[in-house]
Amino acid sequence: MADPRPLLEVRDLSVSFRSGGRDLRAVEGIDFSLGAGEVMGLVGESGSGKSATAMALLRLLPDAATIGGQILFEGEDLAQVPEKRLNEIRGRDIAMIFQEPMSSLNPVMSIGAQIMEPMRFHLGLSARDARLRAIELLERVRIPAAERRLKNYPHELSGGLRQRVMIAMALSCKPKLLLADEPTTALDVTVQAQILDLLYELKEETGLSIIIITHDLGVVANFADNVAVMYCGRIAETGPVSAFFDRPGHPYTKALIESIPDDDTSGRLATIPGTVPKLTELPPGCRFAPRCAHSRPACSDILADLYQLEPDHRAACIMPFDYRIPDQ
Amino acid sequence: MLNFILRRLATIPISILIVTAVTFFILRLTGDPVELYLDITRTPEQEALLRQELGLDQPLIVQYLQFLADIVRLDFGRSLQFQAPAIDIVVQRLGATFQLIGAALVIALVVGLVGGLVSARYKDRTADMVISSLAVAGQSMPSFWLGILLVQLFALNLGWLPTSGTGGWQHLVLPSVTLAAFIAPNLVLITRTSVLEITDELYVTTARSKGLPRLRILLRHILPNALNPIISFFGLQVGRLVGGSVVTETIFAWPGIGRLMIGAIYQRDVPVVVASVIIVALAIIIANLLVDLILSVVDPRIRLD
* A204 in the same domain as A258: no
Last residue of a domain, one of A171, A200, A231: A231
Mean pLDDT along residues B129-135? 93
Q: Is residue A214 part of a domain?
A: yes
What fold does the segment set B95-298 form as a domain? MetI-like fold (1.10.3720)
* A283 in the same domain as A159: no
Selected for mutation to probe chain B from A84, A106, A165, A167 (highest B CB count within 10 Å) is A106
- Give the up-direction half-sphere exposure of residue B275: CA atoms within 13 A in the CB hemisphere: 27
Q: How far is the alpha carbon of B224 from chain A, nearest alpha carbon, in Å?
A: 7
> ipTM score here?
0.89
Residue A181's H or E segment, with its range, is strand A177-181
Q: How far is the alpha carbon of A227 from chain B, nearest alpha carbon, in Å?
A: 24
Residue A3 confidence class, pLDDT cut points 50, 70, 90:
low
Which comes out higher in pLDDT, residue A318 or A149? A149
Q: Is residue A49 part of a domain?
A: yes
Q: Is the pLDDT of residue A95 over 90?
A: yes
- Share the mean pLDDT of chain B: 87
Of B203, B211, B298, the CB nearest to A90: B211
* A301 in the same domain as A203: no
User: Of all residues in chain B, what percent carry a pLDDT higher than 90?
Assistant: 30
* A260 in the same domain as A204: no
Last residue of a domain, one of A212, A231, A250: A231
Q: What confidence score (pLDDT) does residue A238 get?
A: 93
Residue A235 confidence class, pLDDT cut points 50, 70, 90:
very high
Q: Are A32 and A10 in contact (CB under 8 A)?
A: yes
Question: Does the distance separating the beta carbons of B224 and A109 come in below 8 Å?
Answer: yes
Residue B11 confidence class, pLDDT cut points 50, 70, 90:
confident
Span A245-262, pLDDT tens digits = 988 989 899 888 888 877
Of A89, A95, A98, the CB nearest to B202: A98
Q: Per-domain residue ranges for chain B?
A: 2-72, 95-298
Of A60, A108, A166, the CB nearest to B298: A108
Q: What confidence score (pLDDT) does residue A4 get?
A: 61
Total domains in chain A come to: 2
* A202 in the same domain as A117: yes
Q: Are A295 and A286 in contact (CB under 8 A)?
A: yes
Last residue of a domain, one of A175, A197, A231: A231
Which comes out higher in pLDDT, residue B192 or A45? B192
Mean pLDDT along residues A292-300? 85
Q: What confidence score (pLDDT) does residue A322 get?
A: 66
Question: Does the distance separating the beta carbons of A86 and B225 come in below 8 Å?
Answer: no
Q: Is residue A327 part of a domain?
A: no
Q: What confidence score (pLDDT) does residue A328 get?
A: 42
Span A114-154, pLDDT tens digits = 999 999 999 999 999 999 999 999 998 889 899 999 999 99
* A154 in the same domain as A258: no
Q: Provide DSSP, chain B.
A: -HHHHHHHHHHHHHHHHHHHHHHHHHHHHT--HHHHHS-TT--HHHHHHHHHHHTTTS-HHHHHHHHHHHHHTT---B-TTTSSBHHHHHHHHHHHHHHHHHHHHHHHHHHHHHHHHHHHHTTTSHHHHHHHHHHHHHHHS-HHHHHHHHIIIIIIIS--S-SSS-SSHHHHHHHHHHHHTTTHHHHHHHHHHHHHHHHTSHHHHHHHHTT--HHHIIIIIIHHHHHHHHHHHHHHHHHHHHHHHHHHHHHTT--SHHHHHHHHHHTT-HHHHHHHHHHHHHHHHHHHHHHHHHHHHH-TT----
Mean pLDDT along residues B85-103? 91
* A132 in the same domain as A27: yes
* A273 in the same domain as A217: no
Q: What confidence score (pLDDT) does residue A40 get?
A: 95
Q: What confidence score (pLDDT) does residue B158 get?
A: 86
Residue B210 contacts A, CB cutoff 8 Å: yes
Q: Is the pLDDT of residue A90 over 50?
A: yes
Q: N- to C-terminal Cα distance for chain B?
A: 6
* A227 in the same domain as A252: no
Residue A23 confidence class, pLDDT cut points 50, 70, 90:
confident
List CB contacts (< 8 A) between A124 and chain B: none
- What CA dihedral angle connects B257, B261, B262 and B263, to 10 degrees? 100
Q: Is residue A171 part of a domain?
A: yes
Q: Is residue A320 part of a domain?
A: no
Question: Does the distance separating the beta carbons of A109 and B220 come in below 8 Å?
Answer: yes
Span B251-266, pLDDT tens digits = 888 899 999 998 888 8
* A31 in the same domain as A110: yes
Residue A241 confidence class, pLDDT cut points 50, 70, 90:
very high
Q: Is the pLDDT of residue A113 over 90?
A: yes
Span B143-183, pLDDT tens digits = 778 888 888 888 888 888 887 777 778 888 889 999 999 89
| CB atoms closer than 10 angstroms to residue B24 | 17
Cα gap B256→B247, rounded to integer Å: 11
Nearest residue on chain B to A88, judged by CA atoms? B211
CA–CA distance from B64 to each of A177, B22, B67, B161, B205 (Å)? 76, 11, 5, 48, 61
* A258 in the same domain as A171: no
Span B198-253, pLDDT tens digits = 999 999 999 999 999 999 999 999 999 999 889 888 888 887 888 888 889 988 88
Q: What confidence score (pLDDT) does residue B78 get?
A: 84
* A199 in the same domain as A279: no
Q: Is the pLDDT of residue A1 over 50?
A: no
Domain that holds residue A278: 242-315
What pTM did the predictor assign? 0.82
Q: Strands A76-77 and A22-34, how do they pair?
A: unpaired
Please report, for the domain that includes residue A94, its CATH number: 3.40.50.300
Of B205, B210, B224, the CB nearest to A91: B210
Cα gap A135→B241, rounded to integer Å: 48
Span A163-204, pLDDT tens digits = 999 999 999 999 999 999 988 887 888 888 888 888 888 899
Q: Is residue A323 part of a domain?
A: no
